[in-house]
Amino acid sequence: MPPAAYPGLVTAASNAPRPPGPGRAAAFFDLDKTIIARSSTLAFARPFLAGGLITRRAVVRNAYAHFLYQVGGADHDQMERMREYLSRLVAGWDVQQVRDIVAETLHELIVPVVYREATALIEQHHAAGQDVVIVSSSGAEVVEPIGAMLGADHVVATRMVVADGAYTGEIAFYAYAENKAAAIRELAGRHGYDLAASFAYSDSATDLPLLEAVGHPFAVNPDRALRKEAVARDWPVLDFTQPVRLRERLPQVNAPSRPVALTVAAVAGGATAAGVAYLAVRRHSQRMV
């Protein structure tokens, strides 16, 4: 398989049968609050504190911000400010240290909170011979291992520039809003997906470009703005309520039959966690003034 042409894209070989030729459908999944019941990046605040990458104050902010995120999500302005914040925060962080921390804590933090309904959908799409793609604004080193556990065929995630083994603070690709739609269109061109026949699942109104790019959009645990759009456009609304340990759903989670071939990851999940935490608390405090 040729190298990925689109920044942020990770491809994987698959053992499942595929319909021959172009025109086949694919299924595109957001990650946070769509496949898992929490923010994948906010989950890593404590391990990054233990690793000396963020401060105890940031962890306290993270706990409160996670509550706000679960209740209301993150809107466009907050995501844009977060991007600027994390760029400054991660500059100089050691990439291998970030990868090691994520690898050591992934199963403890993420595996228990995967939605049963999401894994069932993934299995159904694979059984129908359709590729499954995770498209997330979270960092690549967080999203890629989760994709490997779930048997995703491709992963699109945020990446940052790396030089001499450390983050420079520059963002190479921000997997957000219209960038997600552009990424899946490029992926469709490379793999022959018929987007009109394809499916997309997300919880956030910031993913409207992604949902609009396919013929079968689904709002999953939608925020208020997306729920309003889904009702207006007659899109199906799915409520996932059953987080379940991934091993109970996929017994061979440590040796998935559809492994994702990981490439060099770039954005720091802990940095995004701290960024979201800081901005969510700040925004909420300003509202109360």
Condensed to tens digits (0 to 9), the pLDDT of residues 96-146 reads 998 899 899 888 988 889 999 999 999 999 999 999 999 998 889 889 999
pLDDT at 40 > cutoff 90:
no
| Domain annotation covers residue 171 | yes
Q: How far apart are CA 127 and CA 188, in angstroms?
A: 20
pLDDT at 64 > cutoff 90:
no
85 vs 263, more confident: 85
Structurally, the chain folds into a number of domains equal to 1
Token pair for residue 233? Answer: 């456009």
Is the four-CA dihedral 274, 81, 75, 35 of positive or negative sign? negative
| Domain annotation covers residue 3 | no
| Domain annotation covers residue 4 | no
Other CB atoms within 10 Å distance of the CB of residue 288: 5
Whole-prediction pTM: 0.75
Provide the residue range defining the domain that includes 19.
9-250+259-288
Q: How far apart are CA 247 and CA 19, in angstroms?
A: 29
Do 39 and 270 form a contact (C-beta atoms < 8 A)?
A: no
Task: Quickly state the pLDDT bin for 77 (edges 50, 70, 90).
Answer: low
289 vs 37, more confident: 37
- Give kind and range of the element (H or E) at residue 111: none
| Domain annotation covers residue 135 | yes
Task: Quickly state the pLDDT bin for 155 (edges 50, 70, 90).
Answer: very high
Do 129 and 24 form a contact (C-beta atoms < 8 A)?
A: yes
The beta strand positions in the chain, using DSSP E, are 9-11, 26-29, 114-115, 131-139, 154-163, 166-173, 199-202, 216-220, 237-238, 243-244
Average confidence (pLDDT) over 71-95: 68
- Give kind and range of the element (H or E) at residue 271: helix 269-288
Q: What is the DSSP letter of 204?
A: -
Q: What is the largest CA-CA distance in the chain?
A: 60
Exactly one of 30, 131, 207, 223 is catalytic; which is it? 30
Distant-in-sequence, close-in-space partners of 280: CB < 8 Å, separation ≥ 6: 61, 64, 65, 68, 69, 74, 78
| Domain annotation covers residue 205 | yes
The reported pLDDT for the residue numbered 74 is 54
Q: Is 30 marked active-site?
A: yes
Other CB atoms within 10 Å distance of the CB of residue 171: 20
| Domain annotation covers residue 2 | no
Token pair for residue 232? Answer: 């207006």
Average confidence (pLDDT) over 34-55: 81
Q: What is the DSSP letter of 233?
A: H
Exactly one of 32, 153, 203, 223 is catalytic; which is it? 32
Q: Residue with structure tokens 């990868």?
A: 99
| Domain annotation covers residue 1 | no
Do 251 and 258 form a contact (C-beta atoms < 8 A)?
A: no
pLDDT at 205 > cutoff 90:
yes
pLDDT at 89 > cutoff 90:
no
| Domain annotation covers residue 163 | yes
Task: Quickly state the pLDDT bin for 248 (edges 50, 70, 90).
Answer: low
CATH number of the domain enclosing 108: 3.40.50.1000
pLDDT at 233 > cutoff 50:
yes
